[in-house]
Amino acid sequence: MRTHRTKWYSKLYLGLIVAFLQLPIIIMMINSFNSSRAMGAWTWEGFTLDWYRELISNDKILSSLGTTLLLALAAAVISTIIGTIAAIGLSGMKKRISGIILNVSYIPMLNAEIVMGISLMLLFAIIGIDRGFLTLLIGHITFCIPYVILSVMPKIRQFDHSKYEAALDLGATPKMAIVRIFIPDILPGIISGFLMAFTLSMDDFIISFFTTGNGVKTLPIEIYTMMTKRGISPEVNALSTIVYIIVFIIMLGINVLPSIRQRADIKKKLKSERKQVS
């Protein structure tokens, strides 16, 4: 792929889809600067930074944000390690056996989240584990693993095996060939699996709803509590706006920096070549 210049109508279509996906977020951002609480009728009552100021002193929201981030990081790291190692192992096993294991590992993703949440709740209730951060973590790792496997597995399947054999023929040890040839080839899958696990964990409400307790609240649970009671407070809009802008800048950096660096590298090479010539 990557062969065509994009026509204007294709650009327009992409623009419309992006606008559709970003629209509610733009609304949320506008509401975070709206002095109206925007809970009954929606009105614009002027620009304010009050919600951002009140956010700093809102311990409830900030502590639930901390829980969410810690949980997402832990769940993403552990599920990426378990999932990637298992995916590599599975690709070397007999198809019949690996097929069974794969099908079982996809259950948490393919099955209804609500059913997985309830089943874990039943397990914890019967074993007698107090629900809290640990049970939340177990729940999140369980539903993240299949997403990691699903994004790593296609990369392993598409891996051209002759590359690995060529490395061995040229004298590389199997370990070296895996680290130098195999892992870099499947790395995009591992990274996208990790990012997916992280975002899904941060975004998860349903599994968390059934596996948490003892006052341990993630941000989505705090939001749900607000939504069912008095409506979402504008501080949450303010917080989400901040998070979104930070993530936006980071992602932009990840996407734009490599091409700038590439250009710099090319310039360096040209310079050194010139030196060699002279």
Cβ atoms 159, 88 nearer than 8 A: no
Q: Which of residues 68-107 bind another protein (CB under 8 A)?
A: 82-83, 85-86, 88-95, 98, 101, 103-107
Instruction: Provide the minimum distance between the beta carbon of 214 and another protein in the complex, in angstroms, as a whole number.
Output: 18
229 contacts another protein (rule: CB under 8 A): no
Angle (nearest 5°) at CA 72 between 68 and 73: 120
User: In this chain, which stretch among 52-60, 119-127, 269-277 interacts with another protein, using CB under 8 A?
Assistant: 119-127
Task: Give the residue from 127, 133, 101 showing the smallest Cα distance to 201.
Answer: 133
Question: Which one among 70, 122, 191, 242 touches another protein, defined by CB under 8 A?
Answer: 122
Minimum CB–partner distance for residue 278 and another protein (Å): 33
Q: Find the binding residues for another protein in span 17-36 (CB under 8 A).
A: 17-18, 20-25, 27-28, 31
Shortest Cβ 270–another protein spacing (Å): 21
Q: Is 13 in the site for another protein (CB under 8 A)?
A: yes
Closest distance to another protein from the beta carbon of 14 (Å): 5
* Amino acid, res. 140: H
**Min CB(251)–another protein separation in Å:** 5
- SS3 sequence, 109-162? HHCCHHHHHHHHHHHHHHHCCCCCHHHHHHHHHHHHHHHHHHHHHHHHHHCCHH
Kindly indicate which of the ranges 45-53, 56-64, 112-120, 268-276 contains the residues binding another protein, using the contact rule CB under 8 A.
112-120
Among 93, 89, 188, 192, residue whose Cα is nearest residue 147:
192
**Residue 34: φ, ψ to 5°:** -90, 125
Residues between 232 and 251 with contacts to another protein, criterion CB under 8 A: 232, 236-237, 240, 243-244, 247-248, 251
| Residue 249 identity | I
Burial 44-73 (b: 16+ CB within 10 A, else e): eeeeeeebbeebeebeebeebbebbbebbe
At 129, phi and psi to the nearest 5? -85, 130
Separation of alpha carbons 270 and 152, rounded Å: 37
Residue with Cβ nearer another protein (56 or 122): 122
| Contact pick of 8, 40, 46, 215 for another protein (by CB under 8 A) | 40
Subset of 167-196 contacting another protein (CB under 8 A): 177-178, 182, 192
Closer CB to another protein, 28 or 74, in the complex: 28
Of the residues 62, 109, 172, 213, which one makes contact with another protein according to CB under 8 A: 109
